[in-house]
A = this chain, B = another copy of it.
């Protein structure tokens, strides 16, 4: 499947890096191909040539792997804590998640990509953790509401009180919530 390396691979990588930054910072519509090209020190027409259209560029720039750890292997009662710590790291090391979050609010392709990640990467693990495997999608969605809500308040909307939370505080407050969403036998436990 892997093509032989093209001579333009360096340019393509620079474009993708610049695109991720711009989409993360400005959202889909405000991030212009011109600005991305300027950041990448490349002619705008090259971006079109390589990725066909703005949508194609976004699709390429928004591929993402959650890199979830093997939660089943860890102690069952530390699932929530492990997950919060993992997401804190991912939010802060990779701007693609922020880009998806910002763009997903107004761009259908971005919203769909988030759905794919949820369904393909988080739901299976949730199904393995919760009492009824059939509830995987539901448990994953619940966990996503809390994780995405924190990301939005802390990294996008930048509510002062959410930004000022220490890493430890985020972990301590959110871990029990995720633990319950993913492992509780029913909502009232």
Residue in contact with A149 in the complex, picked from B114, B152, B158, B176, CB distance below 8 Å: B152
Contact A106 B104 (CB under 8 A): no
Copies in the complex: 2
Q: What 1/0 mask marks residues of chain A from 90 to 131 whose CB sits below 8 Å from any chain B CB?
A: 000000000001101110000100110010000100000000
Known: A153-B141, A172-B188. A115 touches B159 (CB 8 A): yes
A115 to B180, CA, bound (A): 29
Is A145 in the interface zone, CB < 8 Å from B? yes
Residue in contact with A159 in the complex, picked from B141, B149, B162, B176, CB distance below 8 Å: B141
Is A57 in the interface zone, CB < 8 Å from B? no
Q: What 1/0 mask marks residues of chain A from 149 to 184 whose CB sits below 8 Å from any chain B CB?
A: 110111011111110110001001100110011000
By beta carbon, the residue of chain B nearest A137 is B161
Known: A111-B158, A187-B172. A146 touches B144 (CB 8 A): no
Residue in contact with A152 in the complex, picked from B145, B173, B177, CB distance below 8 Å: B145
Q: What 1/0 mask marks residues of chain A from 10 to 29 whose CB sits below 8 Å from any chain B CB?
A: 00000000000000001101
- Secondary structure of the A contact surface, majority rule: helix
A160 to B142, CA, bound (A): 12
A27 to B30, CA, bound (A): 12
Is A147 in the interface zone, CB < 8 Å from B? yes
Is A86 in the interface zone, CB < 8 Å from B? no
- A173 CB contacts on chain B under 8 angstroms: 142, 181, 187
What are some 6 contacts across the A-B interface (CB < 8 A)?
Answer: A27-B29, A102-B106, A115-B157, A169-B187, A172-B187, A173-B181
Known: A29-B29, A102-B106, A141-B161. 18 other contacts (CB 8 A): A29-B30, A111-B156, A115-B157, A137-B161, A141-B159, A141-B165, A142-B173, A144-B153, A145-B146, A145-B150, A146-B177, A152-B152, A169-B187, A172-B186, A172-B188, A173-B181, A173-B187, A176-B187
